[in-house]
Amino acid sequence: MAEPKFAPSILSADFARLADAVKAAEQAGADWVHVDVMDGHFVPNLTFGPKMVADLHKATRLPLDVHLMIDRPEDWVDRYASAGATYLTIHVEASNDVPGTLQAIRSRGVRPGITLNPETGVDAVLPHLGAVDLVLVMSVRPGFGGQKFIEGSLDKVRAIRAALDQRRLAVELEVDGGIKPNNAARVAAAGATVLVAGSAIYEDPDGPVAALAKFKRAVLG
Ligand code: DX5
Ligand code: ZN
């Protein structure tokens, strides 16, 4: 098992000090920064817009992994692409035109991703595997940090891993929600290549740099 990439979610960081949060992620050896965009409609919470992504893009050299928890993501592709998103991930439940939206993302030079809620079966994303650079398995109901990992998500990770391998697709398989040092190795062993963690990084009393070191120790064994 190769070491997974780590994508700290700034959802659990101090929103008044986000530049410090991304600097800490860099210092800790994070691979990406995970940016949770919420619109108060698709999920019952509100966070960032395109200007925040543009400002974060100026503040860090790390790739910005933008998770759009918004209705009608097709209406926002241009603005998030212009803001400097590296990956732009849409929910399969949120768009009337998933293939067209993924294509629009790619045509803007951004890496398209697809994700699914815990209630949604993997069959919803399988038709899109050939059109994406990333599949994100939500292991909590989206909207808030600090929730408990849904164990049934591991079966979804295994099923998507098998489908990607069978089709020889080099697509990142990311898992988001409730990931801690004590379950990270199991998630990676199920086939994930990218682990998102919010509260376990930014609410660790030892600080984000020490927190990410705990994750790395946990997955290296
Ligand atoms: C939930 C977000 C997650 C969240 C993860 O809607 O998509 O990225 O920040 O937070 P933790 O790691 O605390 O579950
Ligand atoms: Zn997320």
217 touches 29 (CB < 8 A): no
Q: How far, in Å, from the CA of 55 to the mean position of ligand 2?
A: 19
Asked if the model's pLDDT at residue 80 lies above 90, the reply is yes
Q: Would you state the pLDDT for residue 2? A: 82
Which ligand sits closest to the CA of 45? 1
Amino acid at 49: G
User: Is 185 a pocket residue for ligand 1 (Cβ < 6 Å)?
Assistant: no
Asked if the model's pLDDT at residue 1 lies above 90, the reply is no
Beta-bridged to residue 90, according to DSSP, are: 68, 114
Give the residue extent of every domain in the chain. Answer: 5-220
Q: What is the CATH T-level fold of the domain 5-220, as seen in this structure?
A: TIM Barrel (3.20.20)
User: Is 195 a pocket residue for ligand 1 (Cβ < 6 Å)?
Assistant: no
Measured on CA atoms in the order 166, 170, 171, 172, is the torsion positive or negative?
positive
Per-residue pLDDT tens digits for 90-106 = 999 999 999 999 999 99
Residues with CB under 5 A from ligand 2 (ion): 36, 67, 176
Active site residues: 36, 176
Per-residue pLDDT tens digits for 124-157 = 999 999 999 999 999 999 999 999 999 999 999 9
Contacts of 123 (CB under 8 A, 6+ apart): none
Q: Would you state the pLDDT for residue 221? A: 72
Closest protein CA for atom 7 of ligand 1: 142
Laid out side by side, the sheet with 87-91 consists of: 5-8, 194-197, 172-176, 134-138, 111-116, 87-91, 64-69, 33-38
Q: Tell me the pLDDT band of 166, cut-offs 50, 70 and 90.
A: very high
Per-residue pLDDT tens digits for 186-195 = 999 999 999 9
68 touches 78 (CB < 8 A): no
Which ligand sits closest to the CA of 204? 1
